[in-house]
Amino acid sequence: MEIPKNATRRKFLKTGLVAGALVAGGTLGASELISAIDSKPTGNKIKLLSPDGKIVEVDASVISPSVAGFLVSNHNVRQGVPGKKFVMVIDLSKCKNARKCHKACSKMHYLPENRSYIKVNKMQDSPEASPYWMPTPCFHCDNPPCVKVCPVGATFKLSDGIVGIDNARCIGCRFCMVACPYNARVFNWGEEMFHLSPEEKNAIKPHEACGSHVVGTVEKCDFCPQKTGDNKLPDCVEACPNGVFYFGDEVEDVISNGDETLQLSKVLRDKAGYRFMEDLGTKPRVYYLPPVDRQFPFTETKQTSK
Amino acid sequence: MNTATITSINEETGAVERHKIPQVLLDDLLPKRLTTSGKLWMYFLLTVMAIGAYAYFTQLKNGLVVTDMRDYASWGIYISNFVFFVAISLVGSLISAVLKLTDVKWRTPLVRISEIIAVASITFAALIIIVDMGRPDRFWHLFVYGRIQSPIMWDVIVITTYFTISILLLYIPLLPDLAICRDKLTGAAKWKRWCYKFFALNWKNTPRQYKIVNDSIKVLAVLIIPLALSIHTVTSWLFATTFRVGWDSSNFGPYFVAGAFMAGAAAVTAIMYVVREHYNLQKYITDKHFDHMGKLLVLLSLIYLYFNVNEYLVPGYKMKEVEGDQLKSLFTGNYAPMFWSVQILGLAIPVIILLFKKGRRPIPIFIISIVVVIGAWFKRLLIVTPTLLHPFIPMQNVPESWHHYVPTWQEWAITSASLAGVFFIIQIFIRLFPVISIWEMAEETETEAK
Amino acid sequence: MKNKLKYIFIVLIGITAFGFQKIYADGDTKTAPEIKVTDATLKLSFDTTGGKHIIATVNAKDPSGAVVPVKDVTIAVFIKKSFGMLPVTGDNMVTDETGTVTVNLPKNMPGDKDNMINFSSKVDGDPKVGDLEATGNINWGTPAKIENNLNKRALWAARANAPISLVIAANLIITLVWGTIIYILFKLITINRLGKNENTI
C-alpha cells in the first residue's frame, strides 16, 4: 500500500490520540486498535462507543476503518472488502461439539451466551451411519434466497461474497428467515434477547462492538467483517480448538484455520468437499469436508438450553 | 325533486324510461337506526378492539417478544390471519364480478354485502401485516427502498390495487343510492347529509350518468377477476417461493384461490343471514338465495377438496424425509386433531350436508358457513406453523418452548380485534348506506313487472 | 515487460545472532564431515526450465572466506496469502550438494492483481546456519478471476439490477391496471360534471 509516510504518521498520531482518549482506563492498548490504513477524509462525524459505554463524537477522517469497525456502531455494512471472495471450509471429521465457536461468536457479537449466529447440529445421514456434529454458520450463498425475497434491500450481497444486513433498513417482516432453508437467521424479538447487564459485559468483554442489535430486525452470521477486512480470521475459526474451520479468500484460493494453511481448490478436490443441500441451487460459500476418518468418536454432549 | 326515480334505457327502442322507485323498497332498504342489540354488538366490537389495541401497545413497547413467535416459528397467527383475510376478500370479486359476467340474476341483493366484506377484510389484511412487522415505524421503507424482486412487494402492489378497485366497485354502484339517501334522508344528522351530498357527485339520474356507472362496473368487473386471482396467488407465493417443506409446491396458487373462494362464499352466506334476520330483509334475501349460495359453496368446496387431495396425497405418497415428518405431524402427530377437524368438519361434512336441499335452508347453511369460515381460519394456521417447525436442519439447542408455537394472549387479542374490526366496518357501513342496492332492486322489479 | 524478464528475484537475507555459533554443538555430527560456516544466506530464485520451479539456495562462507553451498538444511517455502502462509514444500525438504531445494509451483495458484505470487522461504533453527528467511515474488500467478457479479441483473441483486423482464412485466401490468383505474376516476368526475350541467326531467 502506497501511503505518503508523513500523512500516515500524522494520521496514526491523530488516531492514536483519539483512540487513546477513548480507551482511557487502559484496558486495551491503543496500538492494538490502530492500523495505519488510510481512510478518506469524509468530514462526517462518527459516533464512537468507548469500552466503558460512553458515546463520543469525532470526525470520521481521523478514524481508520479498522478502528471504526472496532469501536463504532456505524460500520458501513454495505461495503465489501475489495478484491476478495470470502469462503469457509468446515472439516466435519474434526468437530467434536466443543462449542467454542458458539461461545466466541456470542462474545464477538455481543450476545448472551445462549445466543449466537453459529449452531452446532447433531446430524445423521442414515440410521446405520454414526452421527456427527455439523457447525452451521450463515452460508453466504451466491444465489441467496434470503436476499431475493427482501422487500426493501435490507439484506444484500456484498462484493466480497458476504450476505450483509442493514439493521437500519430492515422492516422486520422475517421473510428472509423463512426463505433461508438453513435457518441461519435470528430475530431480535425483544431487548432481552441480546441486552447484557454491565456485569455480563465485563465478564464477556466483547472485543468488537460488531453487530448493532436493533429490536425488531433480523441478524445473522456476518463473517466478522471488521476482522476479515484486516486479514484476521473470524472468531469462530480462531476459537475452535480442533481446527475445524478454515477461512480464506476464494480469489487467492487459500484457506487457513490458523494453524494450517491449505489450497482451497486442492482440498475440495482431494477431500470431496461438498456444500450442504447442493440441490437447492443456493450456491453456498461454505463448504464441508465429509465426516470420514473421524478424529473423535461421536459422543453425545450434554446440550444446554435455557 | 323528492320523488326517487331511476332511469333506464329501453334496449329495443333506445328510449329513456324513468320509473318511480316503489315506496316499499325505500322503507325496507334505507339505512336504519341501530337497535339495542345492534348497539350492544357495536360496544362489544369496540371492547374487543380496545383490548387488541392495548395488546398492540404492549407489542410496540416490548417488541415481538410478546408473541410466541421465535427464530423457528418466525411467522404465526398474524400471517395466517392475514392469509385468511385476503381469502375472505376474494368474495367481493366472486359475487360482483364472476356472477355478473356469468349473468346470474339472483346475485343483486348480495353484491353490496359481499363488496363491503371484501373492502373490510382487505383493509384488515393490510393492517395485520403491519402488526406482524418488527419495525412498523419503517413501513415507508417499502415505498422508498422497495425491490420489485420481492414477492412481498408484489403483494403490496396487488393488495393496494385490489383495495382500490374494491372500493370503486363498492362506491360506483352506490352513487344512485347515495342520491336517494341525499334526497330522502333529510332528517339525518348534518354531517351525514353533507356526506350523502358530497359523495353522490351531483347524481341526477341522467341517462348519461347511468351509462357511465354501468360501463364502469362492467370494466371493473372484468378487471377485478385477474386481480382477485393474483392477490391470492401472490399471497400463496409468499410461501411457495421458499424451499420450506409443505410450501415448496407449484400447486399453491390455485390451492389458495380455491380455498379463498370457498371461505369467502361461506363468509358472505353467514353475514347475509345475520343481516337478513336483523333487518327483516326476508323479502329480498330469500330462501332461494341460501339455496343458490349452498350449491355454489358445494361446488367451491369440492374444488378445494380436489386441491387438498393434490396437496397432501402427492407428497404423502413420496414421504420425503423432512416433508414426511411434517405430514406425519398433520396426519397423526400433534396437529392431527386440528388437521382432521378442519378437513372433516370444515370441508367434508359441509359438502355432504349441503348436497341435500334441507341442508341448504337458511339456518343449517348459516351454521355450516360459520363452521367453514372457522375451519378456513385454522386451515391457514395449519399451512403456516407446522412447516416452520419442521426445518431442514433439525431444531437443536433451543429452549423447549421453541419446539411449539402457542400464540400468546396478545396475539389472540390482536387477531380477535382485527376480526372485530372487519365486523365494525361492515356494521358502520350498514348503518350509513343501503345494504341492498335500492336502484338495482327497483330495476329488477321493473324488469319482472314487464 | 515483466514477462520478458527470465528471472526476477528479490533476496532478503536474515542472519541470526546465534546461528553460526551452534555448530558442532554435540558429538553426533561427527559423521558429517562438515566445516564451520559463517554468514549464511538464503536466496530465492525462479526457474522455468521444464516447468515453473522455485529454487531456494543456502550459501555460506567457509573458514577460508569462500562462498560455498550448505547441504542438509531443512527449508520450507511458503506462498504468502491474506489469511496464512501456504506451504509449497513437503515435509523435510533438505538442501542437496548445491545447497538448493527445488519445488514445483502448485497448479492454478492465483496471484494478486498483477498476477504476482509472494513467496517466502524459511530455515528454522538449523544447527549449521540458524534461522534464515528470504522472500521473493514473481508474476507466475494464474489470473485471479474476480468477477463482480453485483452489477449483474438478478433476482437477488439490488433493486436497480432487477431482471429486465421482471421490470418490464411489472411496469406493464401496473400501467395497464392503474391506467384503467385512473380512467374510471375521470369518469366519476364526468358524472359530477354531468350532474351540475344537465337538467333533470
- Residues A204 and A196 sit within 8 Å (Cβ to Cβ): yes
Q: pLDDT grade, residue B92 (50/70/90)?
A: confident
pTM of the full structure: 0.86
- A83-107 pLDDT, tens digit each: 889 999 999 999 999 999 998 988 8
Q: Note down the domain range covering A153.
A: 86-289
CB contact under 8 A, C144 and A251: yes
Q: Based on the domain organization, do A173 and A39 belong to the same domain? A: no
Q: pLDDT grade, residue A281 (50/70/90)?
A: very high
Question: Last residue of some domain: A71, A98, A120?
Answer: A71
Question: Last residue of some domain: A28, A44, A71?
Answer: A71
The pLDDT score that the predictor gives to residue A138 is: 95
Residue A80 lies in a domain: no
- A37-55 pLDDT, tens digit each: 333 444 555 554 444 444 5
Share of chain C above pLDDT 90, in %: 22
SS (H, E, C) A183-211: CCCEECCCHHHCCCCHHHHHHHCCCCCCC
CATH class of this structure's domain B5-449:
mainly alpha
The pLDDT score that the predictor gives to residue A36 is: 34
DSSP structure class, residue B95 = I
Q: Which of A22-31, B45-54, B317-326, C81-90 has the highest mean pLDDT?
A: B45-54
Residue A115 lies in a domain: yes
The pLDDT score that the predictor gives to residue B224 is: 92
CA B195 to CA B432: how far, in whole Å? Answer: 10
Domain map (residue ranges) of chain B: 5-449
CA B123 to CA B128: how far, in whole Å? Answer: 9
Average pLDDT over residues A130-135: 94
- Of B251, B247, B401, the closest CA to residue B322 belongs to B247
Cell triple for residue B198? 358530497
Report ipTM for this prediction. Answer: 0.91
- Cβ contacts of B135 on chain A, cutoff 8 Å: 170-172, 214, 216-217
- Residues B242 and A178 sit within 8 Å (Cβ to Cβ): yes
Residue A252 lies in a domain: yes
The pLDDT score that the predictor gives to residue A7 is: 44
Residue A81 lies in a domain: no
Q: pLDDT grade, residue C95 (50/70/90)?
A: confident
- Residues B337 and B329 sit within 8 Å (Cβ to Cβ): no
The pLDDT score that the predictor gives to residue C125 is: 84
The pLDDT score that the predictor gives to residue B10 is: 66
Average pLDDT over residues C108-125: 87
Substitution target from A254, A255, A285 for chain C, most C beta carbons within 10 A? A254
The pLDDT score that the predictor gives to residue B303 is: 96
Find the helix or strand (DSSP H, E) in which A56 lies: strand A55-59
Q: pLDDT grade, residue C53 (50/70/90)?
A: confident
Which chain A residue's Cα is nearest to B401? A306
Q: Based on the domain organization, do A41 and A152 belong to the same domain? A: no
* Interface chains of chain B (3 or more CB pairs under 8 Å): A, C
Question: Last residue of some domain: A46, A71, A96?
Answer: A71
Residue A59 pLDDT > 80: no
CB contact under 8 A, C177 and B223: yes
Say if A79 is an interface residue toward chain C (CB within 8 Å): no
Q: Based on the domain organization, do A11 and A135 belong to the same domain? A: no
Average pLDDT over residues B274-290: 93
Q: Based on the domain organization, do A11 and A105 belong to the same domain? A: no
Rg of chain C (C-alpha set): 36
Residue A77 lies in a domain: no
CA B347 to CA B312: how far, in whole Å? Answer: 14
Q: Based on the domain organization, do A36 and A106 belong to the same domain? A: no
**DSSP string of chain C?**
-GGG-S----------SSGGGSTT-SGGGTTS-PPP-EEEEEEEEEE-TTS-EEEEEEEEE-TTS-EEE--S-B-EEEEEETTEEEE-S-TT-B--TTSEEEEEPPTT-B-STT--EEEEEEEEEETTTEEEEEEEEES-PBPP----GGGS--TTS-GGG--HHHHHHHHHHHHHHHHHHHHHHHHHHHHHHHHHHSPP-
Residue C66 pLDDT > 70: yes
- B32-57 pLDDT, tens digit each: 888 899 999 999 999 999 999 999 99
Q: Based on the domain organization, do A165 and A225 belong to the same domain? A: yes
For cell 424479538, name the residue.
A189
Q: Based on the domain organization, do A63 and A154 belong to the same domain? A: no
Q: Based on the domain organization, do A114 and A54 belong to the same domain? A: no
Q: Looking at CA atoms only, how far is residue C85 from chain A in angstroms?
A: 6
Residues of B with CB under 8 A from a CB of C: 1, 18, 145-149, 154, 157, 161, 164-165, 168, 172, 175, 201-206, 208-209, 212-213, 215-216, 219-220, 223, 227
CA B1 to CA B121: how far, in whole Å? Answer: 38
Q: Based on the domain organization, do A38 and A183 belong to the same domain? A: no
Q: Based on the domain organization, do A55 and A168 belong to the same domain? A: no
- Residues B185 and B178 sit within 8 Å (Cβ to Cβ): no
Q: Higher pLDDT residue, A304 or B149?
A: B149
Q: pLDDT grade, residue A110 (50/70/90)?
A: confident
Closest CB to A171 among B135, B242, B393: B135
* Interface chains of chain A (3 or more CB pairs under 8 Å): B, C
Q: Based on the domain organization, do A139 and A112 belong to the same domain? A: yes
CB contact under 8 A, B216 and C195: no
Q: Based on the domain organization, do A120 and A18 belong to the same domain? A: no
Say if A173 is an interface residue toward chain B (CB within 8 Å): yes
Residue B264 pLDDT > 80: yes
Residue B282 pLDDT > 60: yes
Residue B186 pLDDT > 60: yes
Helix (H, G, I), strand (E, B) or coil at B390: coil
Pick from A120-134, A184-198, C63-77: least confident: A184-198
Give the number of domains in chain A.
2
The pLDDT score that the predictor gives to residue B80 is: 96
Residue A31 pLDDT > 80: no
Residue B24 pLDDT > 70: yes
Residue A79 lies in a domain: no
